[in-house]
Structure 1
Amino acid sequence: MPSTHKRESRKHLFLRYCFLQLGSILAAAGLEFFLIPNQVIDGGVVGISIMLSYLFHQPLSLFLLILNLPFLYLGYKQIGISFALSTLFSVISLSYWVAVFHPIPGLTTDLFLATVFGGIILGIGVGLIIRYGGSLDGTEIVAILLDKRTGFSVGETILFMNLFILASAGLVFGWDKAMYSLVAYFIAFKVIDVTIEGLDESKGVMIVTDEPEEIAAALMDRLGRGVTILHGQGGYSGEAKEVLYSVVTRLEVAKLKSIIHEKDPSAFVTIHEVHEVLGGRVKKKAIH
C-alpha cells in the first residue's frame, strides 16, 4: 500500500508540473503573440514587468523573475513550500517561454482581436497555473496579507492594485491602450474563473418539502444525482421537516425545478453556487 500511494503521489506531482508548464506556455503565447506587440498589458506583476521592459528596453523575462522574487518569499512564509515551489516553477517557465516567443512576430495588429484572443489565452494559462497550485501574480499574496491587517477583502485589494497598474499604462502607452488593457484584464479574469471552476458549473440545492421520498426518487431516477435527506424542524411551527440536499449542474437546474414543482408545488427551495465537488455524486443516467 505505501508503495502504491507513493507512486500515485509521484504521478500527481508529475501531472501538476505538466499542467503548470502548459499554463506557462499559454500565458506566454497570449502575451507575446497578442498583447505585448500591440502594447496591451495585463494587471499585476506581469503588467508592471511589461511597462518596465518597455521603458528600460530590457527583456521582459528579466523583470518577471526579479519582481516575483520578494513575492515568492512571502508566499513561502504565508502559504507554504508547495505553493512557493509551484509558483517558482511557473514564473521560471513563463520567463523562459516569453524569451522563446519574443522574436516571433505578433499574430495580429488589430487591437480588438489582440485584446480578445490575448485575454482568453492568457486567462486559460493563468487559470491552469492557479488550478494546479501555483501563481504568476504577487499582488494576490500582498492582498492576502493586507486582508489580515485592513478592512479590505482580497478581491477589493487586487482590483484596486490592478486598476492603478492599468491606469499607469495610460501614461506609458496612451489612454486608448490602457482602455484596451482594462478589457483584456476583465476577459482574462472571467476566463481564469471558467478554467479553475470548469464549464460544468455546479449548483447546490436545498429542498424543504412534505414529499421527500417522491422528490428524492425522482431526482435520482430522472437526473441521476445523489440526494441526502436531512432531518429538520420548523422554527415557528416546531413540526418535523425533511430537507433534501443535492448537487446538480447549471444546465440541470430547470429540469430540477420542474421535478420539484410536479411533486410538491409548495416546497421551499434554495439554490446556491458550489465552487468544487469531490466524490459523492451518482453517475449520470439517461434523463426520462
Structure 2
Amino acid sequence: MILKRGLFIFLGAILMGAGIEIFLVPNGIMDGGIVGISIILSYLSDIPIGLFLFFLNIPFLFMGYKILGKTFSFSTLFGISVLSVTTYLLHSVPPFTEDVLLATVFGGITIGVGIGFVIRYGGALDGTEVLAILFNRKLVFSVGEIIMFINFFIFTVGGFVLGWNNAMYSVLAYFIAFKTIDIVIDGLDESKSATIISDHWEEIGRAIIDRLGRGVTYFHGEGAYTGDDKKIVYCVVTRLEEAKLKAIVDDIDPGAFLAVADVDEVRGGRFKKHNIH
C-alpha cells in the first residue's frame, strides 16, 4: 500500500512538473494556487520555480499536519519535493509546442492527471488545497469554491504581470486541469461511503473514530453462505481521507471486505466539521 501510494504520488508530481515546464511556462501561461504564485515570482525574479514551490508550501505542510494528519503531510511533502526537482530539471527542456492554445489544452490535461493521481493516493501538490480545507471548517463554501475564489485573485495579478491574453489562457488551462482532476478522482470535494465487514469490526470502528475523527455506524448482518452473524461498519469520509481509511483497515485486518462508493450529497450531523487528526 505504501509503495503503491508513493509510486503514484511520484508519477503525479512528475506529470505536473512536465505540464508546468514543458507546456505552460515557456508559453507564458500559469496555473492557480501556489504554482501560479511561484510562476509569477519566478518571472519577476529569475529564481527557479522549484524553489518557490517548495518554500511557499512549507507553512501549509505544518497546517496540513494538524488538519489532515501525518500520512497526508508526509505524502504531500514527498510530492512537492518531487515536483520542485522536476521543474528544475525540465526548465531547460525545449517546449513541446509554441502554439499557445495547444500548450493550454495539453498542459491543463497533464497537470490535471498529475494532481488527480496525488490526491487520489492521499497527498496534495498545492498548499491552497490545505488552506481551503481549513476555511471549509469555518465557512459554508465547499473546498472547490474556496480554491476558485483564491485563484481569482492569483489570475488577476497574473494578468498585470504576464498580460491579459496570457491570463485568460491561464484560466482556460486551470479549468481544463480542474475537469481532468474530476475524471481522475471523481471530484476534489467528493464524499465517499465505506462499508467494511470484518471480525475485527470494533477495533476498526474505534480506529476510524480516533484517527479520522469520523463517526461510524454498526449494522447487524448475516452471511448468506455460512449463516454467521456479522457486524458491518459504515462511515462517510472525504476524498482526501479515503487513502488513510484504507490504510487503517489494511493495518488491522488485511482480509477485511471493504467497499467504497461515491456519495453525491451529505447532510446533517457534523460531517464537515470533522477532519483527520
Pairwise TM-score range, normalised by the shorter structure = 0.5 to 0.7
Alpha-carbon shift at residue 56 of structure 1 (Å): 1.0
Q: 1:196 aligns to what?
A: 185
What is the rounded CA distance, in whole Å, between the counterparts of 2:132 and 2:183 in structure 1?
A: 22
What is the rounded CA distance, in whole Å, between the counterparts of 1:83 and 1:116 in structure 2?
A: 30
- Counterpart code for 1:45: I
Alpha-carbon shift at residue 152 of structure 1 (Å): 3.0
What is the rounded CA distance, in whole Å, between the counterparts of 2:54 and 2:101 in structure 1?
A: 29
Identity fraction in percent: 54
What is the rounded CA distance, in whole Å, between the counterparts of 2:186 and 2:133 in structure 1?
A: 21
What is the rounded CA distance, in whole Å, between the counterparts of 1:57 and 1:20 in structure 2?
A: 28
Alpha-carbon shift at residue 168 of structure 1 (Å): 1.2
In the TM superposition, 1:180-219 aligns within 5 A as 180-197=169-186
Q: 2:165 aligns to what?
A: 176
Q: Which has the higher contact order (CA 8 A, sep 6+)?
A: 2
Q: 1:237 aligns to what?
A: none
Alpha-carbon shift at residue 179 of structure 1 (Å): 0.3
- After the TM superposition, which of the residue ranges 177-186 and 165-174 deviates more from structure 2? 165-174
The secondary structure found in structure 1 opposite 2:123 is coil
1:37 aligns with 2:26: yes
Q: 1:243 aligns to what?
A: none
Alpha-carbon shift at residue 34 of structure 1 (Å): 0.4
Q: 2:72 aligns to what?
A: 83
The secondary structure found in structure 2 opposite 1:149 is coil
Deviation string 1:158-202 (CA, Å, 9 cap, x unpaired) is 11101111111101100000000000000000001111139xxxx
1:96 aligns with 2:96: no
What is the rounded CA distance, in whole Å, between the counterparts of 2:22 and 2:49 in structure 1?
A: 14
Q: 2:136 aligns to what?
A: 147
Looking at CA atoms only, which structure, 1 or 2, has the larger radius of gyration?
1
- Counterpart code for 2:158: A
Q: 2:145 aligns to what?
A: 156
What is the rounded CA distance, in whole Å, between the counterparts of 1:105 and 1:190 in structure 2?
A: 27
What is the rounded CA distance, in whole Å, between the counterparts of 2:65 and 2:134 in structure 1?
A: 13
Q: 2:36 aligns to what?
A: 47
Deviation string 1:25-52 (CA, Å, 9 cap, x unpaired) is 1101111110000110110111111111
- Counterpart code for 1:109: E
Q: 2:272 aligns to what?
A: none
Alpha-carbon shift at residue 149 of structure 1 (Å): 2.3
Alpha-carbon shift at residue 156 of structure 1 (Å): 1.9
Alpha-carbon shift at residue 148 of structure 1 (Å): 2.1
Deviation string 1:218-270 (CA, Å, 9 cap, x unpaired) is xxxxxxxxxxxxxxxxxxxxxxxxxxxxxxxxxxxxxxxxxxxxxxxxxxxxx
- Counterpart code for 1:167: T
When residues 28 and 78 of structure 1 are mapped into structure 2, their CA distance, relative to the original with a 3 A threshold, is: same
Q: 2:62 aligns to what?
A: 73
Deviation string 1:262-286 (CA, Å, 9 cap, x unpaired) is xxxxxxxxxxx757xxxxxxxxxxx
What is the rounded CA distance, in whole Å, between the counterparts of 1:27 and 1:66 in structure 2?
A: 18
The secondary structure found in structure 1 opposite 2:137 is helix
Q: 1:121 aligns with which of 106, 110, 113?
A: 110
Q: 2:122 aligns to what?
A: 133
Listed as ranges, the gaps of 5+ residues in structure 1 are 1-11, 199-272, 276-288
Q: 1:269 aligns to what?
A: none
What is the rounded CA distance, in whole Å, between the counterparts of 2:10 and 2:133 in structure 1?
A: 25
When residues 149 and 197 of structure 1 are mapped into structure 2, their CA distance, relative to the original with a 3 A threshold, is: closer
In the TM superposition, 1:51-62 aligns within 5 A as 51-62=40-51
Listed as ranges, the gaps of 5+ residues in structure 2 are 188-261, 265-277
- Counterpart code for 1:84: S
What is the rounded CA distance, in whole Å, between the counterparts of 1:174 and 1:72 in structure 2?
A: 31
